[in-house]
């Protein structure tokens, strides 16, 4: 009725309550909004970082220490901030969002958390169009770590695009969210049977 989207309302809440330049506090404030006000389809604290039993994203980043990270599906920037805060020194994160309205919110969230464009580059456009030009236009030679959190029906197509354009570094980690529900069965089948990957399913609850 107001013409202000849920995503914009969430950012206004962040502006009023989050500590600028403090990524963890930005994420905590985001969580407060989603628990108490309106649900947003972000990674959330259980799969993300603060639940001691299920620090999936944070733990994998620590173990792999990737220098080049690709995120497909920025949405409001929650996952982007989560990834960026776990990067080693000198690393760079490329995040891709198809919806310009979501990208506009995410850009503000990322900068509010204190990450400059030298560390986090937000690319607006459909993933199937962005992936083929990542090397030439955005300077991504190969990704050490890929986080998929966009449309589940795009997971398999985009993984195969990354393969065909040789954008996966040797030993790269591909982390895909929500593959069981709402589900990405063709992606899972391919990952398990193509012979290119060691596949592990991390079980977690839905966010919030």
Give the pTM: 0.92
pLDDT at 82 over 90: yes
pLDDT at 42 over 90: no
Question: Which superfamily is assigned to 51-194 in CATH?
Answer: Vaccinia Virus protein VP39 (3.40.50.150)
The better pLDDT of the pair 42, 148 is held by: 148
For residue 102 the two structure tokens come to 């979501």
CA atoms within 13 A on the CB side of 95: 31
Task: Show which residues are catalytic.
Answer: 149, 152, 177-178, 207
pLDDT at 207: 79
pLDDT at 206 over 80: no
54: confidence class by pLDDT, cuts 50, 70, 90: very low
pLDDT tens-digit series, residues 120-172: 999 999 999 999 999 999 999 999 999 999 999 999 999 999 999 999 999 99
pLDDT at 46: 61
Q: In the predicted model, what is the mean pLDDT of the chain? A: 92
For the CA atoms of 132, 136, 142, 147, the dihedral, rounded to the nearest 10 degrees, stands at -50
pLDDT at 98: 98
E strands, the chain, are: 68-72, 92-97, 120-124, 143-148, 168-176
pLDDT at 53: 36
Residue range 83-95: average pLDDT? 96
Count of CB atoms within 10 A of residue 193's CB? 10
pLDDT at 203 over 90: no
Residue range 187-198: average pLDDT? 97
DSSP string of 67-124? Answer: SEEEEE--TTSHHHHHHHHTPPTT-EEEEEES-HHHHHHHHHHHHHTT--TTTEEEEE
Domain locations along the chain? 51-194
């Amino acid at each position: 009725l107001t013409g202000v989207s849920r995503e914009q309302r969430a950012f206004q809440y962040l502006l009023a309550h989050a500590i600028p330049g403090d990524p963890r506090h930005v994420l905590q404030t985001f969580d407060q909004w989603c628990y108490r006000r309106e649900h947003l389809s972000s990674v959330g604290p259980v799969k993300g970082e603060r639940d001691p039993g299920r620090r999936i994203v944070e733990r994998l980043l620590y173990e792999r220490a990737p220098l080049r990270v690709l995120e497909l599906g920025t949405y409001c920037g929650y996952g982007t901030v989560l990834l960026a805060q776990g990067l080693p020194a000198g690393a760079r994160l490329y995040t891709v969002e198809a919806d310009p309205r979501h990208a506009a919110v995410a850009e503000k969230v990322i900068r509010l958390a204190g990450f400059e464009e030298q560390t986090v580059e937000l690319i607006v456009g459909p993933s199937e169009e962005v992936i083929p030009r990542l090397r030439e236009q955005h300077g991504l030679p190969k990704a050490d770590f890929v986080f998929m959190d966009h449309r589940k029906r795009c997971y398999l197509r985009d993984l195969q695009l990354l393969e065909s354009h040789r954008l996966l570094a040797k030993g790269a980690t591909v982390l895909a969210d929500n593959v069981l529900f709402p589900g990405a069965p063709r992606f899972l089948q391919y990952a398990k049977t193509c012979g290119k990957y060691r596949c592990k399913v991390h079980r977690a609850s839905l966010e919030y």
